[in-house]
Structure formats: C-alpha cells, structure tokens
Amino acid sequence: MPGILYIVSTPIGNLEDITLRALRILKEVDVIAAEDTRHTHHLLAHYGIKTALTSYHEHNEREKASSLVEQIKNGTNIALVSDAGTPAIADPGFRLVVAAIRAGIQIVPLPGASALATVLSASGLPTDRFLFEGFLPAKKSERKARLQASREVGATLVFYEAPHRLNDTLSDMQQIFGEREIVIARELSKIHEEFLRGKVSEVINQLAGRDVKGEITIVVHGSTGEARVTEEQLRLDIQRLTGAGIGVKEISELLGQRYGLSKREVYRLTLAIKSERGASLPSRRQGNSASKRPASMAAIRGFIKRYAMACRVVKTTLKHNRWVPSRLQAHTSLYRGSNFSCGIRA
C-alpha cells in the first residue's frame, strides 16, 4: 500500500508557532524531507522528535524528487518541511508535489505558519486582493523588468527579498512605482521583529546607514489607476535631474517608467525645457491651479506640438536666408506659448 506525502508548515522564527497536528505528524512519519537537515534537527530536538531526516533542497530536488516518490509508492510516509514557513511557497517542494500528483500519491497539506499571510495581516494595506511575487531576481535589469510588469496591478504586491539587496530593490521600486505606501517587515516572530511603514522614500530614509539583517518581506500598495504626476512636478523633476548632470535619455527612461509616460514624449519635453530662453522653470511655490492638474498625454503632446511648429518656422526661414513675417505671424501665438528659442538666435 502506498504511503502519504505530508506538507508540514514549520515556525518562521518562534518555535512555539507550530500546530499540535504538525508535531504529531512529524513524530509518526517514517522520514522527514528537510531543506536543511541541521536547521530542522534543532526544531525536532526542541520537541523531542527523533524521526529520520533526509535532505531535499533547491540543488538536489530534481534528482531527489523521483527517489522520494518511489519510497512513498513503496509504503513510506514522508513529511516535507522547509527551513521556515510552508513548503513549496517560495521554497523547495514544488517538483516533489508535482511528481507525487503524477504518480497518484495522496498529498495531505497541514496549515501553519507563513510569512506571506503574517505580514499581510498586519500591513494595514488592502488584503482583499494581493499578488505574491516571491523573490525578485538578483540581476538589476531582470528585477526592474519584473517590477515594471507589476506596476499597473491594482492588487497589493508582496515580495520576499534578501537583506543585502534591500536598498537596491527599494531604489528600483521608487523609480518604477513612485511614492507608494509600502511596508517592510523583518525578523517576524523573533526578538527583533520590526515593521517599517511609509512612502518609499520615507522607508529608504529610515533604513539609511543601517546594516539590515534577517528575512525581509515587502508589501506595496497596488496601483490606483490614477495619474499621480502634475505638469508642474514633471517639469521640476526634469529640472532637478538635468541639474544633477543626468542625460536626456536617462531622464526619459527614469520619468517614463516612474509616471507611466511615453519615453519618447518625455525625451522631447526634456529637450524642449533644456532649450528654454528667458523663462525660468516654476518653483514648488509658484504655478497656478491649472498647472497642478495631472498632466495628461494630450496636454504633453500639445505642448510639444507648439514647440515643434515654432521651431520649424524659424529654421525654415533661416535656411532660405530670408525672413517671412506673414508665415511667422501665423504661428506667433504658438511660439509665444512655448517660450522656446529652438537653440537658434536670429
């Protein structure tokens, strides 16, 4: 008679966070397949459990899954555990579960600890819908691509991250998500458990100069689907970035990703602003109420169009070495509306 595969959740920090049923199953099964046998041995010793252990981790799960399935088919009852939390959730176990299903083996999951559910319950962010992204890629380009793919998702986003990559990940999130509400949780259920809450920039400031350790869970507010950038803010961002010596291409990529605008439109707007003559960019204390409305793509295109038309008139008249007042007059209002010199002096 074939055995059973039990999926057993174990504590994510505090050893008391394990169910009575889990302890009973760990005592009764023939073998425990553990992500790290040394780590699991500490848990078993704490509760006086002496069941045999075998290793099952990300580096051997392809080969080990078939071996464990054969043992179960021959009548061996096996409990699958990870170092912390629920197996197969951002942890080894998926291949073994799939192999067991294909072999017709009975699978019994035991509810228990999970960092995902624990953090969400205390995050203060919407929990009616959420998307679990697991661990983000270590490579920056791949990580940014993953974040970009989830930028428009309306559900709350949950990520796991290693402490040594936390600052880089938060920087990428600020660039792509903008100033959303986020929650950082670390060392859940342990002595140094900590929650950090606020806008992305605020949390980055809270972490400045700190040597962060422990398991990290990041919860991000989902997209609201609303435009969050005003024309005033867009111009201020361009002024700040150009003043910092950042190139036009980099600015278009940065602000395009941050605000969900066309990179081409931002590129052309940046060139236009850089070529302004006799007009200063508005400060945060300046500007009328109209400029505080969210900048739509139509408004940006109209702005660019006025500038482009004025430039064509000036360049055409200079090219033919003659001045055509009637032609220029037709576009005088456009030219004055944009306040640009096109980089050419008459």
Beta-strand pair 181-186/216-220 = antiparallel
Q: pLDDT by residue (tens digit) across 288-323?
A: 444 445 555 665 666 666 666 655 655 554 555 444
Query: Average per-residue pLDDT in the chain?
Result: 83
From first CA to last CA, the distance across the chain in angstroms is 94
Does residue 204 carry a pLDDT above 90? yes
Q: Two tokens at 68?
A: 């464990």
Q: Are 222 and 156 in contact (CB under 8 A)?
A: yes
| Closest C-alpha to 55, from 72, 31, 76 | 31
Give percent above pLDDT 90 in the chain.
58
pLDDT at 253: 84
Mean pLDDT is lowest, of 52-66, 132-146, 291-305, for 291-305
Give me the domains of the chain, ranges plus CATH numbers: 4-113 (3.40.1010.10), 116-220 (3.30.950.10), 231-338 (no CATH)
Q: pLDDT by residue (tens digit) across 159-182?
A: 999 999 999 999 999 988 888 999
CA distance 30 to 44: 14
CA distance 197 to 119: 12
pLDDT at 334: 40
CA distance 62 to 81: 16
* 169 or 152, greater pLDDT: 169
pLDDT at 297: 60
pLDDT at 337: 41
Q: Check: pTM over 0.85? Answer yes or no.
A: no
pLDDT at 83: 94
Q: What is the mean pLDDT of residues 69-85?
A: 97
* 175 or 153, greater pLDDT: 153
Q: What is the mean pLDDT of residues 142-170?
A: 94
Q: pLDDT by residue (tens digit) across 185-199?
A: 999 999 999 999 999
pLDDT at 338: 40
pLDDT at 55: 96
Does residue 343 carry a pLDDT above 60? no
Q: What is the mean pLDDT of residues 11-31?
A: 97
Q: Two tokens at 315?
A: 């360049």
Does residue 49 carry a pLDDT above 60? yes
Q: What is the mean pLDDT of residues 21-39?
A: 97
Q: pLDDT by residue (tens digit) across 224-262?
A: 875 556 667 788 888 888 888 888 888 888 887 777 677
